[in-house]
Structure 1
């Protein structure tokens, strides 16, 4: 495949925080069967994710999620990339529905070890221990919207990303 042409990206992510988002999303899928986040605001110092769920969620679930995410981070999984076509990406069980119809044919799949696989053009760490430790410092369940919002931050991230 010639050099891929991706759609332009609207943001410069902080790689440890962005990779943590991938792990949190997969942990939510595995622990609570929510699917990936429906809304994300990922920043260097703190981030927020919203998940659709009719199951009331609270501190107990936040603690379980935090423990699972940090367990995965400590495994020091490699973060790898695969550039492929949309058609070939179907074999990786990734959600292609969010790709605009007028976007490029090339897509990039990001894999966090064998734990998470998804489409992404963002910046990531090379291996999960560079993330540091995730702390979910607040959560709120909104039954009217069937939405659980978590807010998280990182501690002890690899300092090379701060340069």
Structure 2
């Protein structure tokens, strides 16, 4: 279904599609590895990106390496990135609409990455994960009080 047939919410930023698509993958990976909700504090850029997740523990170096390794495995898997339009009454189970802006349209664009991830999004994406390039974990920070894990990364297309 072509999203140009629908009026979607105004979009206030121009994403770098490889990094933005990597954001989707990392959100799902952190959910699968640690049970984390999708990041509510993401800053995705061409040169360096960062995302923050709430976790029950500080990942050790082995877990950090596993994040980078699995991200690159998913990228190399060359999963298709597709979108579809659905109305609010037909949102698939497990897809949250809580991050949508107030007054969001009745028709929602869902972005799918193979069978790995699906979420509402109106940003720009690559056509398949292989177009992301290489995922490089630049560093992490842990805030024990907030149980907050910040991941800094870049993609090298």
TM-score by length of 2: 0.93
Structure 1 gap ranges (5+): 158-163
Partner SS for 2:131: helix
User: What's the CA shift for 1:59?
Assistant: 2.7
What corresponds to 1:96 in structure 2? 97
Q: Deviations over 1:79-115 (max 9, x none)?
A: 00011111111x2421111223422111100000011
In the alignment, structure 1 residue 6 sits paired with structure 2 residue 4: no
What corresponds to 1:52 in structure 2? 54
Counterpart contact for 1:77–1:113, Cα < 8 Å? yes
In the alignment, structure 1 residue 114 sits paired with structure 2 residue 115: yes
Partner SS for 1:72: helix
What corresponds to 1:160 in structure 2? none
Q: 1:43 aligns with which of 42, 45, 48?
A: 45
What corresponds to 1:86 in structure 2? 88
Q: How many Å separate the matches in 2 of 1:139 and 1:79?
A: 27
Q: 1:30 aligns with which of 23, 29, 32?
A: 32
| CA distance 1:92–1:83, change in 2 (3 Å) | farther
Partner SS for 1:10: coil
Counterpart contact for 1:83–1:108, Cα < 8 Å? yes
Q: How many Å separate the matches in 2 of 1:101 and 1:124?
A: 23
In the alignment, structure 1 residue 144 sits paired with structure 2 residue 133: no
Q: How many Å separate the matches in 1 of 2:95 and 2:131?
A: 25
Structure 2 gap ranges (5+): none
What corresponds to 1:135 in structure 2? 136
- Over the aligned positions, Cα root-mean-square deviation in angstroms equals 1.5
The size of the alignment, in residue pairs, is 155
Partner SS for 1:49: strand
